[in-house]
Structure 1
Amino acid sequence: MPKMKTHSGAKKRFKVTGTGKIMREQQNNQHLFESKTSRRKRRLNLDKELSPSATKTAKKLLGI
């Protein structure tokens, strides 16, 4: 059986940490920054951990 290919969209969107957690970027952090406060922009800049249900799907797409 051939090797599984990594999902191209998933590898661009998710990062795996050293401990195995899957991180994602937060939404609302691409444009329209004039109307957002500095505090909000700073907090949106941080990565979030995927939920347990989404982690299962992401691992399958990443081939982990």
Structure 2
Amino acid sequence: MPKMKTHKGTKKRFRLTAKGHIKHRQCGTSHLATRLTSKRTRNLRGTRVLAEVDEPMLIKALNGYSY
């Protein structure tokens, strides 16, 4: 059976923290942001931690890459 490959799109968008949680960038800031209020764009800055429900699926897609 061949090795499982790392999903390259997932590798570019997500990082694992030291405790095993998944960090990701908030969506909605790259373009068409003029319609958003300044408060909303401020709150979308930085990274967030993904919900624990979605973690096993993404860890499988990362295949141990970001450890």
Identity among equivalent positions (%) equals: 41
Structure 2, gaps ≥5 residues long: none
1:26 is displaced (CA, Å) by: 1.4
Q: How many residues align?
A: 64
**1:44 partner amino acid:** L
Q: Distance in 1 between the 2:3 and 2:57 partners? A: 18
Please tell me the root mean square deviation across aligned C-alpha atoms, in Å: 1.5
The answer on 1:52 being equivalent to 2:52 is yes
Q: TM-score, normalised by structure 1?
A: 0.81
Structure 1, gaps ≥5 residues long: none
2:3 aligned partner:
3
Q: Distance in 1 between the 2:10 and 2:36 partners? A: 28
User: Which residues of 2 match residues 1-64 of structure 1 at below 5 A?
Assistant: 1-64=1-64
Q: TM-score, normalised by structure 2?
A: 0.78
Q: Which runs of 4+ in 1 moved over 2 A?
A: 1-4
